[in-house]
Every structure is written in structure tokens, then in C-alpha cells.
Amino acid sequence: MEFTAKEIALLVNGTVDGNENVSITAPAKIEEAQKGNISFIAHSKYESFASTTKASVLLVGADFKSDKSISVTLIRVENVYAALAILLESYQGQSKPEEGIASNSFIHPTASVGSDASIGMFSIVEAGAKVGNNCLIYPQVYIGKNVVLGDDLILYPGVKIYHQCQIGDRCILHANVVIGSDGFGFTPNQDGQFEKIAQIGNVILESDVEVGANTVIDRGTMGSTIIRQGVKLDNLIQIAHNVEIGKHTVIAAQAGVAGSTQIGAHCQIGGQAGFVGHIKVADGTKVQAQSGVAAAIKKEQSAVYGSPAIGYSEYLRAYAGFKNLPSLIKKVRDLENRLRDLEKD
């Protein structure tokens, strides 16, 4: 990729302050940028780099000012992060694999592949599967029987989609995501051994869902595990059978949701949080990292913390007391000793 500052400004709807013809070949972190790189300043703590960076161009806010003399070309925009997203998307687009179906991939004769789809080497599309238009499927992807894929998907290497699952438009599944593996369903028999319960449901991802690398979403025992529109899942997350996650909820890495739990829309869930099964979590709930949610959350816009999770403010007050526990114990012992001395007198 090679653009001028003027071309980038047009792309991100910005204005150039400096040399509009300076050439840019790649984005870079502001601390590491060199000639030919573009970087950005979106936070005040990085403003000092404007006078020392070796980058050729910086994306900055429309009202950006520096107390020091700067020579770097600026592109001023209303929203730095929004402009950066556009820029990085454009840069990523330059590195996409070649379009078309690789000769050493396998497409079952009864499968259908939409127009402008790309299917990489050693990928498999099983019988009855439907691949939408403009899908980008990297090498070593497995698409099971009767899977339905929407339009404009990106499936990175190693993605596995089991039979009967459905993926909506514009979804992104990162490397080694597994969609539709069996739910954790077993029952003890008379001998105390655990026998498997068949998992005959599926997984439905609605449109604009993104799933991070190595995340697993289990199929429903019966019915569907459902990930609603716009949900964003980080890496290394476990979603169990028959879970439902509401629209535009975000979940950070290493979280786990047990079977049949329903998480509402617009929730924000921190890393390593855990949810027991068969509970409902209200819309807009915020769950602090490493919290354990062991009961339903009925009030919308709640914020919880701890394990088991309690109200966020309540937890902070309790934790403040916990930190002071050694000194409180010492005070109690001192008081006991003083009381004992008074009783002796």
C-alpha cells in the first residue's frame, strides 16, 4: 500500500496540515514509526510524541495543539479512532488472498458457493452447505453438512463449522474457532458411569458477529445456541449449549457461559468472568473481570463484581474493608487486652 497524505485525508474525511504529497506505505505505533509510516494520537498522554516521532504523518483530532515545534504532517479528523478504523481496514484489504477457489480445496457437488467467493487451500465444503456471496474463506477451513453461510463473511484458517449451523452476513470468525461442537451433556447410569446425551440442535450466529481465535460455541442439545446481531466475542471463550447472547454484547477473553443461560443485549463482560447455567442476565449489565455470576441479574444496567458477584459499589466497599482486616484485627485484640486489664483493676 502506498498513498499520499492527501489521499488518506480523502479516505478518512480529514484535512491535511503540512505536506499533502508525503508518501505513506504502512501504519505503525507512534513509538516505533519510521519515515513512510502513519501513526496517530488519540490520547493526551501521547501528545509529547508529536515532536519526536519519526513518522511521516499523524492522525490527530481536529483541535489538536502542541506546545512544541513539530515537523510531521498532520491529518486532522473529528474522531481519531473512527478514522484509524477506516485506514486499517483499507490497509488490511491490500493483503487479502487471491480470489477464487483453490484447486486443492474440496467442494461437494451438492454444495453451493456464491459469487465472488474465495476458498483457500485444503478447505472443505460438505454436502448441502451454502456459501454466500463475497465470502473470504482462508485455507484449512471446514464447513459441515447443510451449513448456511451468509454474505461477506471472513473465515480465518482452521475455522470449523459443524453440520446444520447458520452464520449471518458480515461475520468474522478468527483462527481455530469451533462452531457447533457438542454441548457438555452427560447423564449417570446405574453403574455410576456417564453416558452421552445426543446433541441434535445447532448454532445460529446473526449478522455482524465477530468471534475471536480459539473460541468455542456449542450446539444446542435441542433447539439452538443463539448469538444475536453485533455480538463481539474475544479469544478463548466457551459458550455452552442453548445459551443466548443478546444484541451488541461484548465479552472479553477466557470467559465462560454455562448451558441455557440468557445474557441480555448491550452487556459488557470482562475477561475470565463465569456464568452458571439456567439464569438470565438483564440488558446493559456490566460484569467486572474474574467475576462469578451465580444468580440471575434482573435489573437492567447493573454493574457487578466478585465471586460470587455482588453489586459493583458494594464489592468495592467490602474489598476496602477486607484490605484493612489485619489492622482491624489488631485493633480488636488491643481493645480486648485493654478491657482485660481494666477488669483486673
CATH number at residue 86: 3.40.1390.10
Same-domain check for residues 127 and 257: yes
Last residue of a domain, one of 93, 123, 143: 93
Write out the residue range of the structural domain in which residue 229 sits: 100-316
The average pLDDT across 322-328 equals: 86
Whether residue 178 is contained in a domain is answered as yes
Q: Is the pLDDT of residue 206 over 90?
A: yes
Residue 98 scores a pLDDT above 70: no
What's the Rg (C-alpha) of the chain? 27
How would you classify residue 37: left for phi > 0, otherwise alpha for psi between -120 and 50, otherwise beta?
beta
241, 248, 266, 278: which is the annotated catalytic residue?
241
Q: Is residue 310 part of a domain?
A: yes
Say how far apart CA 282 and CA 297 lie, in whole Å: 6
pTM above 0.75, yes or no: yes
Domain shared by 207 and 152, yes or no: yes
Indicate if 56 and 88 belong to the same structural domain. yes
241 is catalytic: yes
Q: Which residue has the higher pLDDT, 47 or 256?
A: 256
Query: Is the peptide bond preceding residue 308 cis, with omega within 30 degrees of 0?
Result: yes
Q: Same domain, yes or no, for 116 and 226? A: yes
Domain count, the chain: 2
Please check whether residues 82 and 170 belong to one and the same domain. no
% of residues, the chain, pLDDT over 70:
98
The pLDDT confidence band at residue 95, using thresholds 50, 70 and 90, is: low
Using the predicted structure, report yes or no on whether residue 214 has a pLDDT greater than 90: yes
Residue 221 domain-assigned?
Answer: yes
For residue 1, the SS3 value is coil
- Tell me: the pLDDT tens digits for 62-79? 999 888 889 899 999 999
Task: Looking at the structure, tell me whether residues 53 and 128 fall in a common domain.
Answer: no
Beta strands (DSSP E) in 177-278 are 178-181, 186-188, 194-196, 202-205, 210-211, 216-218, 224-227, 232-233, 238-239, 244-245, 250-251, 256-257, 262-263, 268-269, 274-275
Task: Say if residue 148 is in the same domain as residue 255.
Answer: yes
CATH number at residue 159: 2.160.10.10
pLDDT confidence of 94, banded at 50, 70, 90?
low
- What mean pLDDT value characterizes the chain? 94
In a domain, 338, yes or no: no
91 confidence band (pLDDT: 50, 70, 90):
confident
Whether 56 is in a domain gets the answer yes
